[in-house]
Chain A
């Protein structure tokens, strides 16, 4: 157990020495990995912020049900009470015709209402659905429209739909970018490791001749790949943070032009952990493939 631990520590030390031996090359590799990590991560952070921003501005999804002109106020109120009990409805507000015209007048349209011979508005129900997904809104709208008291249903789901679709597209792009650049990360690591193995051919040969197992030979390279991935991931995180810092000012300006206060949020600790874990794992994986493939080539027996 102790020997095993010492062994791993030694592998770790060997890997760290490798970094020290070639600082410039390592720096460049780490930067490249950093950019590969920063691109999908940055896009993810932007989308996350956009989602939050849209959530703040998004009006409550509401359906407006205009009742037929023959329906009396008490019938309208009964319907409102009945609808309020349905499972898919969160709240119902009844707006009578007189209330409606009052609202118009209050909104500064008194000139127009004064010219009307009598109140043209129907009684109206404003319905807040329990679920705000476009599909749920659509279904509720269809149900309301089928009511005998209903004249017209107003339902504005288009922009909700568009936003959801755009967000979905963005998320897919994050996944695609992450997959592609993850592959690139593994490939970069594999290449670095391959060069290292060729540079250390003599050492590997000697170690083999005096009884080193494959694992013994492989381990420092795997550690190197993992550490490089981890440091690259940290660099990527740094790049994202720096980028956020850069656009923070203009975001605040845009937000204040819309009359809202909005601060950019960075990666959460769990998300950061996931990014670092993934970049470490990919580095390790790249090293694993490179070592397996290259060690067979420098085989002596």
Chain B
């Protein structure tokens, strides 16, 4: 699914976020990325999602070399990946429903079919009753769940989540982890960055630990 070989990412100014990192992730895996802040977890996720390009080495996702992707191919590449952000990146000028509709709309799916899928996704994250609400009226946990609904509505085979539970209290965090596990059980590959070791202990899965841009375990 994901092949990372000898990848280095250096930012302008010289800061090296990742140094010669190699990692393979198989289809259907549930992977936790852990490490101190600044260890390179977010950078690694951005490289996999083609939000950043590696300075050296290869990142190959579903057979596509991310570093070599043409600008025009990028949107189509991203459509196969569900992205979940720590800061949600929701659009506050539209309803919960419309936020989840956006990825489908971008892919040209509209009408009744799209509405059905939006409602299915909202149902999975328990927000079906709030489809007409504005995201700003939702709690932090609900906003995160909305972000998850948007990430899964187009049924991606790969979901990347950057600190999805960082700002949530324990009960909400467990909620969200339960959802992730459910997705994983139906075959979705998940890569989740977190620094909550308790969470990993409870949910199992593979733990990839980073420190200063290098693989520790």
Query: B103's closest neighbor in chain A, by CB?
Result: A210
Contact residues of B with A, CB < 8 Å? 49-53, 71-72, 74-79, 83, 89-91, 93, 102-103, 105-111, 150
Complex Cα distance A211/B50, Å?
11
Expressed in whole angstroms, the minimum distance between the Cβ of B72 and any Cβ of chain A is 8
CB within 8 Å of B: which residues of A? 3-4, 6-7, 10, 202-203, 205-214, 216, 300-301
Contact across chains for A301 and B109 when beta carbons are under 8 A apart: no
Could you tell me if A210 and B83 are in contact, using CB atoms closer than 8 angstroms?
yes
Q: Given known contacts A203-B91, A209-B83, is B52 in contact with A301 (CB within 8 Å)?
A: yes
* Most central of A10, A203, A207, A301 by chain B CB within 10 Å: A301
- How far, in Å, is A187 (CB) from chain B's closest CB? 28
Q: A202-B91, A301-B53 are in contact. Are A210 and B110 (CB under 8 A)?
A: no
For B78, the chain A residues whose CB sits under 8 A away are: 208-211
Query: With A and B bound together, what is the CA distance between A105 and B142 in angstroms?
Result: 107
Asked whether, in the complex, the Cβ of B52 is within 8 Å of the Cβ of A210, the reply is no
**B89 CB contact (under 8 Å) in A205, A212, A301:** A205
Judging by beta carbons under 8 Å apart, are A301 and B51 in contact?
A: yes
A202 contacts across to B, CB distance below 8 A: 89, 91
Q: B190 to chain A: closest CB distance in Å?
A: 17
A125, B78: Cα distance in complex, Å: 89
- Which residues of chain B have C-beta atoms less than 8 A from A206's C-beta? 89-91, 102
Out of A4, A205, A214, name the residue touching B108 (CB < 8 Å).
Answer: A4
> Which residue of chain B lies nearest to A17 when distances are taken between CB atoms in the complex?
B93
Q: How far is the CB of A33 from chain B (nearest CB, A)?
A: 26
From known contacts A6-B111, A213-B75, A301-B74, infer whether A207 and B106 are also in contact, taking CB-CB under 8 Å.
Answer: yes
> Which one of A6, A211, A212 contacts B110 once the chains associate, using CB atoms below 8 Å?
A6
Contacts of A211 in B (CB 8 A): 75-79, 103, 106-107
A7 CB contacts on chain B under 8 angstroms: 105, 108, 110
Complex Cα–Cα for A216 and B74 (A):
13
Report A-chain residues with C-beta under 8 Å of the C-beta of B79. Answer: 210-211
B112 CB to closest chain A CB (Å) equals 12
Other than A210-B102, A213-B106, A301-B50, give 6 A-B pairs with Cβ distance below 8 A: A4-B108, A6-B108, A10-B105, A208-B78, A210-B150, A301-B51
- 14 A–B contacts, CB within 8 A, in A order: A6-B110, A6-B111, A10-B110, A203-B93, A208-B75, A209-B83, A210-B83, A210-B106, A210-B150, A211-B76, A211-B106, A212-B106, A301-B50, A301-B53
Q: Which A residues are CB-close (under 8 A) to B74?
A: 301
A210–B76 Cα distance when bound, in Å, is: 9
Give the nearest-CB partner of A21 in chain B: B93
Contact B106 A216 (CB under 8 A): yes
CB distance from A137 to the nearest CB of B (A): 64
CB neighbours (8 Å) of A208 from chain B are 75, 78
From A6, which residue of chain B is reached at the shortest CB distance? Answer: B110
CB-CB nearest 9 A-B residue pairs: A211-B79, A3-B108, A211-B78, A6-B110, A213-B75, A211-B75, A212-B106, A210-B103, A206-B89
- B77 / chain A contacts, CB cutoff of 8 Å: 211
Output the nearest chain A residue to B52 by Cβ-Cβ distance: A301
Cα distance A3–B106 when bound, in Å?
A: 10
A217 vs B192: C-alpha distance when bound (angstroms): 29
B177 smallest CB distance to A (angstroms): 23
- B158 nearest CB across to chain A (Å): 13
Measured in the bound complex, the distance between the Cα atoms of B102 and A203 in whole Å is 10
The answer on a CB contact under 8 Å between A209 and B89 is: yes
Chain A residues near B106: list those with CB within 8 A: 207, 210-213, 216
Residue of B nearest to A9 (CB): B110
B95 vs chain A, min Cβ distance (A): 13
Q: With CB as the reference atom, state the residue of chain A lying closest to B71.
A: A301
B42 CB to closest chain A CB (Å) equals 14
The distance in angstroms between the C-alpha atoms of A213 and B110, with both chains bound, is 17
Residues of chain B with a CB closer than 8 A to A207's CB = 102, 106
* Cα of A212 to Cα of B72 in the assembled complex, Å: 10
Q: How far is the CB of B175 from chain A (nearest CB, A)?
A: 23
In the bound complex, CA of A209 to CA of B107 (Å): 13
* B51 neighbours in A (Cβ, 8 Å): 209, 300-301
In the bound complex, residues from chain B placing their C-beta under 8 Å from that of A203 are 91, 93
- CB proximity of A145 to chain B, nearest CB, Å: 74
A202 to B91, CA, bound (A): 8
Instruction: Tell me, in angstroms, the Cα distance from A47 to B104 when the chains sit together.
Output: 55
What is the CA–CA distance of A10 and B89 in the complex, to the nearest angstrom?
Answer: 22
Residues of A within 8 A of B103 (CB): 210-211
Report the minimum CB–CB distance from A7 to chain B (whole Å).
6
Q: How far is the CA of A300 from the CA of B103 in the complex (A)?
A: 18
